[in-house]
Amino acid sequence: MLVHDLLDDAIATAGAEPAVRVGTLRWTYRRLGELSTAFARWLGDNGVRRGDRVVVVSPPAAGLAAMLFGCSRLGAVLVPLDPAMRPFHLSAVLGDADPALVLADDIDRIRGLARCPIRDRVEAWAEASTTPVDRDALATGRVSPDDLALLIYTSGSTATPKAVMCPHSQVTFVASAINAELRYRRGDVVFSRLPMSWDYGLHQVLLCCLGRAELVVAQPHDDLRLLDRVRDSGATVLPLVPSLATMITTLWERGGEQQTAVRMITSTGAVLSQPTIDALRKVFPGARVVRQFGQTECKRISIMPPEEDRERPGSVGRPLPGTAVRVLGPDGTELPCGATGEIVVNGPHVMPGYWRAPELTARTFRVDRDGRHVLHTGDQGHLDEDGYLYFDGRHDGVFKRKGVRVSTTEVEAAATDIRGVRAAVVLAPSDHHDLTVCVEGDVDSHAVLRELAARLEPAKVPATCLVVPRLPLTGQGKPATDELHALLEGTSR
């Protein structure tokens, strides 16, 4: 199956129903299909061919949904980038992706960084949307499920962002597998404040197609009135990351109760802590808070079924349908239930590797003893007897201190349980500093350490607490630990 097949299936059964909404702009599935075909034709007229990369540097917009399906129809590869990406990384990414065309809201910022034509996204979209539709002129018949549909750049252990290669077959399989658990449905309004440069933000388009739901694309300027926007949109599903969850619960505490139609909340990025889940249930009483776990390298690993959202505290759910999760020891042997080791995944959703990075691909994506293509996540976890997964932290976030095994995830969960702490990130001991907790909130550092001492074993209590107005985040919404390390070094001089 190809990515645009998901849209065409939705058109066949729900063509007149709403698909995408931004402000007062509202497109039906049929209109989205027409615009995607027009965009594909426009790309072809501008020299883009099957297999070419098309970079889009833009905040979330309705047009990005049409661009996604338009690239798919032509056989081009969409490369969505965060407009907040720093020039140093942006230059490296553009050189790595080697696009045939760049579309950007701020072309002056891109000029000189790319070796290909650069077009203003808004103007280009206006031209594309008036292009005559001619499906017969497209390359749809020549596009293969094994062709790349997306390159998703993600931060990680490398110095610059790396691109996960996402073929049509993996993208459509994992979207269907996720929706088999979440069950988006007709009448759902999915309010997404997630950037479309993130895999889960972009996947909201696909999930809505599968469920025949409507996607409401929120804008950054909505943040100060985010709860009002959720309510006024009629949202029934709310995908978020922990930082957005913190923002929402803080707004609720300041502004009081609001009635919404939200029935389900899902998450990505870092694992939602129990205090954050409890806070979300206060804001949206009656809504199910669905715990999930995944990586861009396979999109999603596990989901706690919505009807089990209050069961198995600490679990991040069960593996997606049609996939398998194993926990391996250092020697590669499979560990028994309850034992902690590296989480290894195999299934049709595991991506083929990283774009133009064979050595990194070989370390992360391997062939196991049974000849299966598997993803070594680098994450630590364990399975219970019923096959539910528990995340125990990153490999580099599990260490021994004073002879005791410590997980940064465990310490962070304890910190967010403290009144006044909105979010927390723990920095493992290094040659430059001892165990440190960085917190965002209206709290005193000594009080945080005192409260942690009442919650944790002595060896797990950080030596230092750094209170910051706002925790820095990467372009993927995860904690920017490099910035925290630099900040910590600056305060210790």
**Is 374 domain-assigned?**
yes
* Closest among 171, 153, 169 to 356, alpha carbons compared: 153
Total-model pTM: 0.86
* Closest among 391, 357, 397, 351 to 375, alpha carbons compared: 351
Give me the phi and psi of 301, to 5 degrees please. Answer: -105, -45
On whether the CB atoms of residues 466 and 449 are closer than 8 A, the answer is no
So what's the pLDDT on residue 60? 87
**Is 228 domain-assigned?**
no
Residues 160 and 43 in one domain: yes
* End-of-domain residue from the set 160, 184, 218: 218
User: What is the Cα–Cα distance from 458 to 324, expressed in whole angstroms?
Assistant: 37
**Is 241 domain-assigned?**
no
| C-alpha 226, offset from chain centre | 19
* End-of-domain residue from the set 394, 423, 443: 394
So what's the pLDDT on residue 157? 45
Which two structure tokens, joined as six digits, stand for 269? 């990025």
So what's the pLDDT on residue 256? 62
Domains in the chain: how many in total? 3
* CATH label of the domain that carries residue 371: 2.30.38.10
Residues 354 and 478 in one domain: no
Give the residue numbers spanning the domain of 347: 291-394
Which two structure tokens, joined as six digits, stand for 55? 């970079």
Place of tokens 């049409």: 66
* Residues 161-184 pLDDT 10s: 799 999 999 999 999 999 999 999
User: What is the Cα–Cα distance from 103 to 84, expressed in whole angstroms?
Assistant: 15
pLDDT at 257 over 70: no
What integer best gives the mean pLDDT of the chain? 90
User: What is the Cα–Cα distance from 102 to 236, expressed in whole angstroms?
Assistant: 35
Residues 26 and 134 in one domain: yes
Residues 389 and 442 in one domain: no
**Is 227 domain-assigned?**
no
So what's the pLDDT on residue 491? 65
Sequence-ordered list of residues with C-beta below 8 angstroms from that of 112, at least 6 positions apart, any chain: none
* End-of-domain residue from the set 394, 411, 440: 394
Residues 361 and 335 in one domain: yes
- Write the burial class of residue 234 (CB in 10 Å: 0-12 exposed, 13-18 middle, 19+ buried): middle
**Is 408 domain-assigned?**
yes
Instruction: Tell me what the mean pLDDT of segment 80-95 comes to.
Output: 88
* Closest among 239, 236, 263, 233 to 26, alpha carbons compared: 233
